[in-house]
Amino acid sequence: MNKYIWELSQWEHFSWNEAELLPLVSTARLKQGQLIQKIKALATEELDRAEAKIFEEETLKTAQIEGETYNPQSVRSSIYRRLGLDYAGLPHTERHIDGLVEILFDATLHYDLPLTHKRLFGWHAALFPTGYSGLVEIKAGSYRTDSTGPMQVISGPIGKEKVHYQAPQAHLVPREMERFLEWWKTSKYSMEGIIRAGVAHFYFVTIHPFADGNGRIARAIADMALAQDDKLAKRYYSLSAAILSQRKTYYEVLEQSQKGTQDITRWLVWFLQCFITALDTSERLLRNIFQKSTFWDKYRNTEINAKQRKVLNLLLDAGQEGFEGGLTTRKYRGITKVSRATAARDISDLLQKGLIKQNEGQGRNVNYDINW
């Protein structure tokens, strides 16, 4: 038996046990449909906030999988600029962060454009705008040459390294990538969409065509496959966040599946379970946005003034926990800059209309919160 599957004849003809995958696909489809339904019900502003939140999560987590830690504020700044949201007060971002954000946006927003060598080269160059990966100089925007030796995934100290995987030789990469891109084009019409995303990730990372950045690009390709499947140019879950929570297993399953036969059932089972986790996590991440949308939908015909709306939005953004100590007349005045009498009148009006409720307490301890 050959050591790595790419050493087999026609190795890219993967197989899997459909009966084992079917229950997972069914669960994923149900959760996916429920989440998409909630996303589509959001107003434009809420949808933009939800998309920004998920893009931020995906950017931070896909970098963390590779051991890189980005400044969340810089990531948010880059995402807000691209979505046309208010980024006042956020720092200027860095080129490599902009590059990763640009890849994720391109894969999702332009999912219907062809995946080509040129497009992949652009993604790779965006990841390494200085031509360096850490302190190591690399040729960005082109496939690897293996000039310093075979492409290996290793761990352990120098002299005691453990080789987890060795990729195809560099001279084979152009041919293998040509086959991958042809498979990408034809499989869109012949394969279950979520399974195709898992196969695409595995196929690409097995070729390992670049000197660095293969994992991030593989995950972007999987996201692009999923966007093609649901035909929604919006990011509503973070696959990388789910992978990061199981990073050790992620590498173990990849390593084991890249040895032996072309049967990648174990990898696809893991990928589908990870996708389901991503959907569940997204539901939790966006719960406050969903609650806020439901609240305003309920009171869409209730007349309130701009200052009342501003305070309510702040309370809604705070979630079920609300303001520490609840909303008080003093806090209302601090937020809106109105007189005590106006603050008391506005709060009384919101209370009477049922938008807020009074918490326990009397006298100076009287405070209020959203009437969820």
Give 285-307 pLDDT, tens digit per residue: 788 788 888 888 889 899 999 99
Average pLDDT, the chain: 91
The residue with greater pLDDT, 89 or 116, is 116
pLDDT of residue 285: 78
Of 44-48, 222-226, 228-232, 360-364, highest mean pLDDT: 222-226
Flag whether pLDDT at 132 surpasses 90. Answer: no
Is the pLDDT at 322 greater than 70? The verdict is no
Is the confidence at residue 162, as pLDDT, over 70? Answer: yes
pLDDT at 1: 44
Q: What is the pLDDT of residues 271-290, one digit of tens each?
A: 999 999 999 988 887 887 88
The sign of the torsion formed by the CA atoms of 251, 256, 261, 264 equals negative
Confidence of residue 225 (pLDDT cuts 50, 70, 90): very high
Share of the chain above pLDDT 70, in %: 97
Asked if pLDDT for residue 156 goes beyond 80, the answer is no
Last residue of one domain, picked from the residues 263, 288, 313? 288
Encoded tokens for 283: 């539901």
Cβ(70)–Cβ(59) under 8 Å? yes
Comparing 59-68, 217-226, 323-332, the range with the smallest average pLDDT is: 323-332
Residue 293 lies in a domain: no
What is the model's pTM? 0.83
d(CA 36, CA 27): 14
CATH code, 317: 1.10.10.10
For residue 360, name the pLDDT band (cuts at 50, 70, 90): confident
Q: How far apart are CA 48 and CA 85, in angstroms?
A: 8
208 & 322 share domain: no
* Total number of domains in the chain: 2
Query: pLDDT: is 207 or 155 the higher one?
Result: 207
Q: Is the pLDDT of residue 168 over 80?
A: yes
Sorted by sequence, the CB contacts under 8 Å of residue 105 that are 6+ apart come out as: 55, 82
User: Quick one: pLDDT at residue 307?
Assistant: 94
Domain region containing 149: 5-288
Q: Are both 177 and 28 inside the same structural domain?
A: yes
- Residue 192, pLDDT > 50, answer yes
Residues β-bridged to residue 368: 327, 358
212 and 351 assigned to the same domain: no
Domain end call among 288, 323, 340:
288
